[in-house]
Every structure is written in C-alpha cells, then in structure tokens.
Amino acid sequence: MSVLLLNASYEPLRVISWQRAICLQLADRADLIEHVEDKSLRTSGGTEFPFPAVVRLREMVVVPFRRGTAPITRRALTYRDQGVCQKVGCDKRGATMDHLLPRSRGGQHDWHNVVLMCAEHNNAKGARTLDELGWKLKAKPIAPKFDGLYLDRTQIPAKWRPWLGRHYDQEQRHAS
C-alpha cells in the first residue's frame, strides 16, 4: 500500500511506500496524519503501529520544478498520456517516447513534440511526421504543470482526498 507524503505546510508532495513512511516516523522526520482503520503493524517485540495512510514532514522541503512545467521523464509522459499510445485508433500500452517532428529533422525534445506510442506505431513511423503518414493524435501534446503527484485518479484512497485539494480536482486534458 502507498502513503501520501505531505510537506510541513500540508501541501501534497508525493506518494511513498508504507515502509518509507514508517522509517520517516521512527526517525522523527514525519508525523502520522491519517491511518488505515483496522490495520496495524506489529514488530517482533510486540510494539504496534497504526498503518499509515497520510504522513506529514516536520520540516519544509523545497521542491524543484514546483513552478512551471515538469521535466520530461517517462513517468511524467506516461501520466500525461494516460499510459496509452497516442495514435488515434490504438489502445495499446504506450511503451516508447516518440518525437512528432523527429530529432533527425530538427525536432526539439519538449512537451509539445513528445508523445507516448506503442512500439509497433513508433517503429512504423520512423523518421516521418504524422502528416506524411496521415495519422492523427488523440490529444494535443501539452506541457503539464508539475505537482509531483502522478496519481491514477480512479484509485485514490478516501483518506487522501481531503489533503489533495486542487491536485485531486484538476481536470483531465481534452483533445483539441
């Protein structure tokens, strides 16, 4: 199970493992804010800990890239493109990063030129553009705002929702 990590200001930072959450608490670096009802952790010595759902750091941490756009990483791209190939008509898992205007033809490595594609479509596209192939995208590529939370909105635990606020309510991007 995962645990929501909050900054000292109660701003959501990221999702961590329950093991990491326990370590932060034992090191007096974080406080338990929410726990899972009817679930606890027991040590071999008999000490019992509530199972964490949300923990808050005791000291503020500065988050790089908080303002502006996220760095282009496979994880961020998978989040933005919802993990699927962006070619219209394909529902396969997006396994590769594809440059819409290939880098060999002057394309930049930026959010407006990179999408997820399945290996089959990426190989078929090669160094050509979508127009040359007559392909369309499911959605216009955008530069997402960075919030550090790459969450599957359908699987957010109820205990996290009060702490996510605007992060939870963000609208999904729409095709242009």
How far is Cα 141 from Cα 158, in angstroms, rounded to an integer?
31
Residue 170, pLDDT above cutoff 50? no
According to the model, what pLDDT value does residue 2 have? 86
pLDDT (tens digit, 9 = 90+) per residue, 70-100? 678 887 888 889 899 999 999 999 999 999 9
86 and 45 within one domain: no
Residue 145 lies in a domain: no
Decide if 9 is inside a domain: yes
Q: What was the pLDDT predicted at 131?
A: 95
pLDDT band at 66 (very low <50, low <70, confident <90, very high): low
Any domain includes 146 = no
Q: Which residue has the higher pLDDT, 93 or 165?
A: 93
Query: Up-side HSE of residue 158: CA atoms within 13 Å toward CB?
Result: 2
End-to-end Cα distance, the chain: 36
Cα(108)–Cα(57) distance, integer angstroms: 38
Residue 84 lies in a domain: yes
Which residues have a Cβ under 8 Å from the Cβ of 167 and sit 6 or more positions away?
12, 147, 149, 151
- Tracing tokens 């705002």 back to the chain, one arrives at 145
Average pLDDT on 55-78 reads: 79
**Residue 57 and residue 79 in one domain:** no
Does residue 176 form part of some domain? no
| CA distance readout (Å), 105 to 73, 77, 121, 130 | 22, 22, 19, 13
Above 90 in pLDDT, residue 176? no
Domain containing 37: what range? 2-65+151-169
Overall domain count for the chain:
2
In a domain, 174, yes or no: no
Whether residues 55 and 106 share a domain: the answer is no
Residues 125 and 107 in one domain: yes
Residue 175 inside a domain? The answer is no
Report pLDDT digits (tens) over 100-158. 999 999 999 999 999 999 999 999 999 999 999 999 999 999 887 655 565 555 567 88
Can you give the pTM of this predicted structure?
Answer: 0.55
One domain, residues 61 and 79: no
Task: Find the mean pLDDT for residues 21-41.
Answer: 93
Residue 159 located in a structural domain: yes
CA angle (86, 90, 95) in 5-degree steps: 60
Taking a C-beta distance cutoff of 8 angstroms, is the pair 63, 148 a contact? yes
Task: Write the single-letter amino acid at 52.
Answer: P
Q: Does 65 score more than 70 pLDDT?
A: no
